[in-house]
Amino acid sequence: MIGQQNFPRGAVIGLLLLIPALISFAVDHLAQRRQQALLTARAQPLQVRAQPVRDGLALLFCTVVAGSLLLLLGTAVAAALIKLWPYNLSLTLDHFDFSNVDGGGTEAFGNSLRMAGWTALLGTVLVFIGAWLTEKVDGARRLQRPLHLLAMLPMAVPGLVLGLGYVLFFNQPGNPLHGLYGTMAILVLCSVAHFYTTAHLTAVTALRQLDREFEAVAASLKVPYWQTAWRVTLPVCLPAMLEVARYFFVATMTTVSAVIFIYSPETTLASVAVLNMDDAGDTAAAAAMATLIVASSALACGLFAILQTILLRRTQRWRARSE
């Protein structure tokens, strides 16, 4: 599609790629029939016993895998800090000055942070509400299968095809939503749709671990369903929701495929700036921008971990078995 500039053929290929999604939806539906609630009103938290040999082998395996990934990331960081590879290996921070290179620079990095933040906030809220409506509200259970099918489709659609669809739809002058084209809002909407499937499955899995006795007891006590969701369902599912928010943020910071079609000069993103800098021959600057993306994602993961620890101490005390 890109090489031939044949957008209609790209759209046809995108439709063909939906077939595996339909097959996976059917298989997933058959598997879910056997799934039962894991957290009932009489459930007791599982306490895993320490086994030094098993735990040591698992730690060694995770260390090897993490070390391999860090080695790859370290190569990009080294390229950003070395003055001129391989002739001048002295360290410098000059490559982080993006004022003399093309691609967007600091403004692009700020746009990515804003897009990732809004995507994490809006996406987490939409994912929880959508999953909760289809799993816990009886009036919406009839829409469970159609909504679940729609939630599964983004995983089967490549980001390039998704971005192409946004271009063809929002770029029409007669479209009432044409005003969103070229704005930060369309980037956020596209990112939420692009990564919705994984987040939706995470939320649905967390909700299905809750026994429906909670809603039945609340209904017998005439407690509003939204109050049960706020005081019971959300606190229990809080770890999963924080993971969803973290996933949205990190995935949005690093995405290229979908947003590369719909960004504008005012909404240039850091991930797109990396490609533009590399195309212009500024490889060291591109590595510097990639380093900033990795560092901001790691910092966000750390902040989410701290927030998760604080909130879980307040809302997840019931998970600790009293001696």
Q: Mean pLDDT, to the nearest integer, of 66-72? A: 92
Contact 167/261 with Cβ under 8 angstroms? yes
Assigned token pair, 154:
């983004």
Helix axes 18-32, 7-16, angle to 10 degrees: 20
Q: What is the pLDDT of residues 222-250, one digit of tens each?
A: 777 777 777 778 888 888 899 999 999 99
**Residues 222, 218: Cα–Cα separation, whole Å:** 6
> For strand 82-84 and strand 88-91, is the pairing parallel, antiparallel, or unpaired?
antiparallel
Please enumerate in sequence order all residues whose Cβ is within 8 A of that of 122, keeping only pairs 6 or more positions apart, or say none. 188, 192
- What backbone torsions phi and psi does residue 288 show, to the nearest 5 degrees? -65, -45
**First and final C-alpha spacing in the chain:** 63
Residue 88 is inside which H or E element, if any? strand 88-91
Among 14-23, 136-145, 191-200, 268-277, the range scoring the smallest mean pLDDT is 136-145
pLDDT value of position 45? 61
pLDDT value, residue 323:
44
In this prediction, residues 211-232 reach a mean pLDDT of 73
Q: Hunting for tokens 């002295």 — which residue is that?
A: 90
- Average the pLDDT over 183-206 and give the result: 91
Between the CA of residue 312 and those of 28, 142, 170, 211, 323, what are the distances in Å?
Answer: 31, 33, 41, 21, 20
DSSP state of 96: G
Ranked by mean pLDDT, the top range of 94-108, 113-127, 179-193, 226-240 is: 113-127
- Quote the DSSP letter at residue 100: G
All structural domains of the chain, each given as residue ranges with its CATH number in brackets, are 55-92 (no CATH), 104-323 (1.10.3720.10)
What pLDDT shows up at residue 26? 77
pTM: 0.81
